[in-house]
Amino acid sequence: MKTSHKVGQRDGRKKSPRDGGMGRITPSGRKMESIRPWIHPEERISVDFEDAVNLNAEVVDCTTQVVTLRLEGGAIGMPHHYQNVDIPLRHVTVTEDPTRYTRNPDAPLRYGRLKLIVKSKRPAAV
């Protein structure tokens, strides 16, 4: 069996230098930077799951690994019930919902709010 290069010999590609994670911008880091300004108890975002769309949620916390959301309408038929969920950022696509507006009374009104598209089904309400 012939190979294109000798066994144990490195090909000509160079690996990128690693700095141990300090200061390195990752896709999760960019997602976190986009989500963190929306952490406010008066502000809502839009969330789409595979089986539920256009849900209102409040961002409780966000790290480079997970985003914690407080979903409105946690149980069907109970509109004032809330559900707290942790979603891994690797399952989230961050975009903007141009059809909605911000509602934080302390901030100036602006059209377009954060929208998260989650690549999984909505967690079951307890």
Q: How confident is the model at residue 22 (pLDDT cuts 50, 70, 90)?
A: very low
Q: Compute the half-sphere exposure of residue 113: CA atoms within 13 Å on the CB side of its CA.
A: 24
pLDDT of 21 > 50? The answer is no
Domain interval for residue 101: 27-118
DSSP, res 79: T
Higher pLDDT among residues 112 and 26, named by residue: 112
Residue 13 covered by a domain? no
DSSP, res 7: T
This prediction's pTM: 0.73
pLDDT of 17 > 70? The answer is no
Number of domains composing the chain: 1
What is the pLDDT averaged over residues 1-17?
50
Residue 9 covered by a domain? no
In the sheet with 45-48, reading across from the earlier edge strand, the strands are 82-88, 66-72, 55-62, 45-48, 111-118, 92-101
Mean pLDDT across the chain, nearest whole number?
Answer: 79
